[in-house]
């Protein structure tokens, strides 16, 4: 599989700054290692060659072969160390590699609560103009509904509003999701489909074009404010490593006091309910040796407790203008595809009240041929469940996160973008090296490998017949004279 370099970017602002990506590729794994060694030797022999010049030349000057790798770093030394590891086939945190396959279109996967951490957007605030502009736009959209600084919360600044409050963390996570999706878009990754887990559906609807930023912010802010006022402090949640059918059977004796809140995978089920009932169920599972885990939440979303805010939520939201979208919207309320024009106020109540059918939604997308899932979140929560679902149904799928807890800078994001690239997703890596200068590299005539055949056809494509013959004639020399 070989693809030509992408067309010239339409924008001039870089998607990220402060880190570089050096992509290399070849026809085989052996060729890839040889190319990495050849590039490392070339760069070391030229101390004046800057990291950004190498990055720009690699990204813009070559087609990409099937066997791919990318080295990510902030300067020459760590990038060269990554090339050395690739050449020697040693594991390295600076290197991602993969076999490029057609992906059938990208699904953006938006998480609900749980992946937040202080300073989750601080690194990208400094390293990404695209991220920074999106956060500011979100802050403006939320301004009529909050009396605290959304920018300070995202950046993790001293004195920022506490993310222990649901009416703070939900706007902050929506902002992170939307802004990380904007950075992926700046790298050329536009979703063919979206899916959202619980609150993540609001971000999914906005990114798909169904909800304006102003309407999406209104849904997030007003709903989280109602939760804070009427539901907070009255519930608890657990993550149970058992199939949903078994969990439902176990919960029968508790009635409405506990409910299945989310079906996240074949053996990953969340439950929500009254704190006392949750503690009883927790103790029962622990006694049986089940590795149950508490979910940090003081309200029972997706349970009967949500009924208490139904009327108030519908009244507060009022009419919502939802547009039909060309991007496929796979609902975790129904488990199937929905027309986004149907996402009215009642839907956003059902999104909070009914169980999250994430497992069903992912199966729907896999059946439709989607194989690449990208999670624009501050910490990957749904990558593992997606992989588990794909294994169970026998589908080939790649699931990729974006940031990680404690890692929010350009290098972390570029590593995720590079992971998408090496698995075959159409990514415009120039988002990290716009404005760079093209320099000659020893790979410019080796688009798909290091063998003579590749060099021959590269020369033919350039119209350089003499070089083409010079490459091929020695292979035909039998010694007869």
State pLDDT tens for residues 243-290: 999 999 999 999 999 999 999 999 999 999 999 999 999 999 999 999
Task: Provide mean pLDDT across the span 182-193.
Answer: 97
Residue with the larger pLDDT of the pair 433 and 406: 406
- Determine contact, residues 336/347, Cβ cutoff 8 Å: no
Task: Provide mean pLDDT across the span 113-140.
Answer: 97
- pLDDT of the residue at 14: 85
Is 423's pLDDT higher than 80?
Answer: yes
pLDDT per residue as tens digits for the range 265-278: 999 999 999 999 99
Of 12-21, 161-170, 332-341, 365-374, the least confident: 12-21
| Paired strand residues for 72 | 21
Q: Is the dihedral of CA 413, 419, 421, 425 positive or negative?
A: negative
Q: pLDDT-derived band of residue 447, with 50, 70 and 90 as boundaries?
A: very low
Mean of all residue pLDDT scores within the chain: 90
Radius of gyration of the chain (CA): 25
The percent of residues above 70 in pLDDT, for the chain, comes to: 89
- pLDDT of the residue at 7: 37
Say which DSSP state 402 is in. -
Is 60's pLDDT higher than 50?
Answer: yes
Task: Provide mean pLDDT across the span 191-203.
Answer: 98
For residue 185, CA distances in Å to 108, 135, 368, 387, 408 come to: 11, 15, 23, 23, 18
This prediction's pTM: 0.90
Q: pLDDT-derived band of residue 119, with 50, 70 and 90 as boundaries?
A: very high
- pLDDT of the residue at 424: 95
| Core vs surface per residue 240-274: b (16+ CB within 10 A) or e | bebbbeebeebbeebeebbbbbbbbbbbbbbbbbb
- pLDDT of the residue at 120: 98
pLDDT per residue as tens digits for the range 298-345: 999 999 999 999 999 999 999 998 999 999 999 999 999 999 999 999
- pLDDT of the residue at 435: 65
Distance between CA atoms of residues 398 and 419, nearest Å: 9
Residue with the larger pLDDT of the pair 452 and 193: 193
Q: pLDDT-derived band of residue 103, with 50, 70 and 90 as boundaries?
A: confident
- pLDDT of the residue at 476: 32
Task: Provide mean pLDDT across the span 424-449.
Answer: 76
Q: pLDDT-derived band of residue 458, with 50, 70 and 90 as boundaries?
A: very low
Q: pLDDT-derived band of residue 65, with 50, 70 and 90 as boundaries?
A: confident
- Determine contact, residues 181/93, Cβ cutoff 8 Å: no
Distance between CA atoms of residues 97 and 162, nearest Å: 39
- Sequence-ordered list of residues with C-beta below 8 angstroms from that of 387, at least 6 positions apart, any chain: 397, 399
- pLDDT of the residue at 12: 58
Is 67's pLDDT higher than 70?
Answer: yes
Is 147's pLDDT higher than 80?
Answer: yes
Q: pLDDT-derived band of residue 191, with 50, 70 and 90 as boundaries?
A: very high
Pinpoint the alpha helices (H) of 101-212.
122-127, 129-142, 150-155, 166-186, 200-207
């Amino acid at each position: 599989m070989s693809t030509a370099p992408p067309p010239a970017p339409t924008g001039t602002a870089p998607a990220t700054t402060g880190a570089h990506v050096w992509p290399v590729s070849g026809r085989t794994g052996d060729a890839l290692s040889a190319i990495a060694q050849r590039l490392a030797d070339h760069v070391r022999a030229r101390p004046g060659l800057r990291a950004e010049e190498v990055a720009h030349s690699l990204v813009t000057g070559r087609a990409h072969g099937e066997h791919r790798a990318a080295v990510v770093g902030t300067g020459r030394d760590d990038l060269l160390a990554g090339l050395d590891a690739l050449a020697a086939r040693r594991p390295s945190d600076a290197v991602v590699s993969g076999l490029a396959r057609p992906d059938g279109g990208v699904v953006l996967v938006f998480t609900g609560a749980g992946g937040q951490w202080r300073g989750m957007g601080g690194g990208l605030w400094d390293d990404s103009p695209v991220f920074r502009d999106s956060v500011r736009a979100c802050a403006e959209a939320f301004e009529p509904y909050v009396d605290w600084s959304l920018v300070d919360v995202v950046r993790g600044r001293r004195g920022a509003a506490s993310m222990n409050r649901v009416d703070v963390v939900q706007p902050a996570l929506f902002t992170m999701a939307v802004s990380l999706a904007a950075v992926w878009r700046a790298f050329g990754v536009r979703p063919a489909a979206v899916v959202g887990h619980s609150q993540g559906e609001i971000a999914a609807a906005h990114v798909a074009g169904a909800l304006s930023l102003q309407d999406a912010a209104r849904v997030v802010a007003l709903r989280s404010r109602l939760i804070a006022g009427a539901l907070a402090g009255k519930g608890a949640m657990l993550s149970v490593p058992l199939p949903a059918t078994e969990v439902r059977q176990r919960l029968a004796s508790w009635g409405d006091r506990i409910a299945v809140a989310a079906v996240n995978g074949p053996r990953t089920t969340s439950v929500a309910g009254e704190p006392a009932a949750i503690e009883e169920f927790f103790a029962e599972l622990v006694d049986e040796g089940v590795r149950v885990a508490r979910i940090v939440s003081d309200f029972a979303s997706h349970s009967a407790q949500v009924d208490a805010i139904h009327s108030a939520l519908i009244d507060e939201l009022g009419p919502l203008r939802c547009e039909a979208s060309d991007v496929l919207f796979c609902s975790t309320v129904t488990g199937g595809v929905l027309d986004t024009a149907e996402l009215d106020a009642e839907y956003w109540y059902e999104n909070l009240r009914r169980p999250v059918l994430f497992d069903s939604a992912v199966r729907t997308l896999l059946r439709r041929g989607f194989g690449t899932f990208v999670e624009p979140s501050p910490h990957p929560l749904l990558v593992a469940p997606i992989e588990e679902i794909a294994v169970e149904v026998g589908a080939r799928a790649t699931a990729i996160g974006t940031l990680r807890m404690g890692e929010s800078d350009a290098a972390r994001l570029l590593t995720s973008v590079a992971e998408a690239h090496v698995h075959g997703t159409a990514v415009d890596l120039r988002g990290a090296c716009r404005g760079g200068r093209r320099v000659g590299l020893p790979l410019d005539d080796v688009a798909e490998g290091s063998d003579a055949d590749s060099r021959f056809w590269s020369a033919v494509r350039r119209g350089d017949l003499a070089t083409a013959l010079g490459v091929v004639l020695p292979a035909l020399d039998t010694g007869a004279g």
